């Protein structure tokens, strides 16, 4: 069975400091050509919203971040943005884990902002 890591699981497992280190290392690995990222793919479902696919490959893994953005959802009591990260083994293609994309994105965004401020600041 493929493990699922909820937002709570992700937040408990990864501190902001660990996220900062991982994002920094990720930027360096990408700059060295050790990771490949295809352009973000949008699947429009207007006027309701859209779906977004963000693939990456490196470090022995393939990842896909699948995110939806539906601005009218709050009126239905639902979040505007939802998503999932699929982590697969790059050698076998086997799915190894599913993660809540919101928690992963929040950690990555905060870490990237802190890194940018430190680097440019």
State the Cα–Cα distance between residues 66 and 53, nearest whole angstrom: 5
Measuring CA to CA, which residue among 27, 34, 24 is closest to residue 60? Answer: 34
Instruction: Note the Cα 117 to chain centre separation in Å.
Output: 21
Among candidate residues 26, 65, 100, 102, the one labeled active-site is 65
- According to DSSP, the residues that pair with 86 across neighbouring strands are 64, 98
**CA–CA dist 20, 61 (Å, integer):** 20
- Whether 65 is catalytic is yes
Q: CA dist 55 to 18, 63, 88, Å?
A: 22, 6, 11
Q: Tokens for 109, please give them.
A: 């965004």
- Which residues belong to the active site? 65
């Amino acid at each position: 069975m493929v493990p699922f890591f909820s937002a709570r699981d992700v937040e408990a497992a990864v501190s902001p400091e660990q996220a900062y280190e991982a994002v920094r290392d990720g930027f360096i690995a990408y700059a060295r050509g050790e990771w490949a990222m295809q352009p973000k793919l949008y699947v429009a479902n207007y006027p309701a919203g859209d779906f977004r696919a963000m693939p990456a490959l490196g470090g022995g893994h393939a990842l896909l971040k699948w995110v939806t953005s539906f601005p009218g959802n709050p009126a239905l009591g639902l979040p505007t943005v939802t998503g999932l990260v699929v982590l697969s083994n790059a050698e076998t293609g086997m799915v190894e884990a599913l993660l809540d994309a919101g928690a992963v994105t929040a950690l990555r965004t905060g870490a990237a902002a802190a890194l940018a401020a430190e680097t440019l600041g």
